[in-house]
Amino acid sequence: MSSTQSVARRGLCAPVLAAALALASAGATARVAAAQEAAATGARDIPAVKVHRKTNPGDLPYKSFFQIQSFLQSLMPLGQRVVELRLRVNFASDKGPAYDEFQPKTWAVAIVGESVDQVIPVTRGGYFVLPELRQAAQENATLMFNTPTREGRIALEWKLKTDAAQQLSYADFGKAIEQVRSVQRKIPFYHRGLEEVRAIDYTGLRACFLADGGRIEVGGQAAATRAEGKCQVLRYDAQVARDGAAGIAFIGPLSIVTLSGSGI
């Protein structure tokens, strides 16, 4: 993996994925044993197996990934937060500009269990937050995707908050980076599956627009940015932050602003 590739795009491993699969395997073994016993005693009314239409080889255990999401959220500093955690659909194929422009026409992510079938709201680019569903956790429900995704992995991003005028103070830009770094410092080294989240070096922001021509201004002047499809990447400048008063404006119909960085 290149050192310039974003850890957020590589995805997040589930540290308790094996345990969740073991539970599912144990449940399946019990059901098979019960069916064999029923057949041996001459039972005739065996209920039909209901196969849900939402299937994908990259589907994940809901409980495991909700625990990861909750753990990372718990590490956020108290007080005013200028950045929010977002999970993201992790395409199995090369992502490119199509990744940022992904807009589900129907459902994109769903939680499906024995009695649970809930579609999760997904915004442009494949961003979402898992809700707490105790029944789904008890049933070892599955997190299903309506598009091919990477097996056992999910993407993670940090979303910056902007005001109604699509603006952000430079001070909050720096604060967002520091808040995420504080989360990274709190992740234990022994916590398997979060190595990439801990290692990524956030050095800027990435603003994705709904159309071509979107741009970023700092202090009312065009900023030096790097284009990635309909997105613009702005590197954090500590000197601008020290000078104070500078504001960041996102010119053009805005989709989302996330932190940008490079990892292992």
**Tens of pLDDT, residues 158-214:** 999 999 999 999 999 999 999 999 999 999 988 878 888 999 999 999 999 999 999
Domain with 161, as residue range(s), is 7-262
> Over the range 83-97, which residues count as b (16 or more CB within 10 Å of their CB) and which as e?
bbbbbbbbbeeeeee
pLDDT at 112: 94
Q: Which residues pair with 217 in a beta bridge?
A: 222, 249
CA-CA distance, 63 to 16, in Å (whole number)?
Answer: 9
> Would 151 be classed as within a structural domain?
yes
> Would 122 be classed as within a structural domain?
yes
> Would 21 be classed as within a structural domain?
yes
> Would 88 be classed as within a structural domain?
yes
User: Is it the case that residue 11 has pLDDT exceeding 60?
Assistant: no
Least confident of 116-120, 123-127, 160-164, 242-246: 242-246
Whole-model pTM? 0.77
Q: Which of 40-49, 80-89, 235-244 has the highest mean pLDDT?
A: 80-89
Q: Which residue has the higher pLDDT, 13 or 160?
A: 160
pLDDT at 186: 95
Q: Which of 22-36, 42-56, 245-259 has the highest mean pLDDT?
A: 245-259
> Would 181 be classed as within a structural domain?
yes
User: Is it the case that residue 35 has pLDDT exceeding 70?
Assistant: no
CA-CA distance, 54 to 38, in Å (whole number)?
Answer: 29
Which of 256, 87, 81, 257 has the alpha carbon at shortest distance from 182?
81
Which of 95, 88, 102 has the alpha carbon at shortest distance from 210?
102
> Would 70 be classed as within a structural domain?
yes
CA-CA distance, 121 to 107, in Å (whole number)?
Answer: 8
Residue 96 sits at the vertex; the CA angle it makes with 95 and 100, to the nearest 5 degrees, is 85
End-to-end CA distance of the chain: 7
pLDDT at 264: 46
- What proportion of the chain, given as a percentage, has pLDDT over 70? 77
> Would 1 be classed as within a structural domain?
no
> Would 22 be classed as within a structural domain?
yes
Number of domains observed in the structure of the chain: 1
Contacts (Cβ under 8 Å, ≥6 apart) of 10:
1, 153, 155, 196, 263
